[in-house]
Amino acid sequence: MGVDVDRAKWTIVGLTAAAVGAAVAVAGVIGFVGIVVPHFVRLIAGPDHRIVLPASAIVGACVLVIADVFARIAVQPAELPIGIVMAIIGAPVFMHLVLRQSRSG
């Protein structure tokens, strides 16, 4: 009787991961910054949204500028796609967040 909670939980996690993947596919890897940076800032600044929101905007802009400068300098005279640089930056941070969440709960 009732709902299999474990199965429902994994279904919701899977659908959420698919939705995030679809959003990143549509918006591009640069949109990945909007997912990773606020979580990273929240790790440092705590849960206060009065700090997290403006800090996320500033840190996100700085991350993109640094990634763009690196992408332009790394393989001169060609130009490295910024999506590759953002994936190199964002994937480890995102994996850290996922593994940290799985350990804590």
- Per-residue pLDDT tens for 35-94? 788 888 988 999 999 999 999 999 999 988 998 899 899 888 888 888 888 888 878 877
pLDDT bucket at 29, cuts 50 / 70 / 90:
low
pLDDT bucket at 97, cuts 50 / 70 / 90:
confident
Question: Which residue in 86, 98, 97, 101 sits closest to 24, CA to CA?
Answer: 86
Q: What does the pLDDT read at residue 35? A: 78
* pTM for this predicted structure: 0.63
Q: Is the model's pLDDT at 28 over the cut of 80?
A: no
Interatomic CA distance for residues 45 and 55, integer angstroms? 9
DSSP states of 32-72 as a string?
Answer: GHHHHHHHHHHHHH-S-HHHHHHHHHHHHHHHHHHHHHHHH
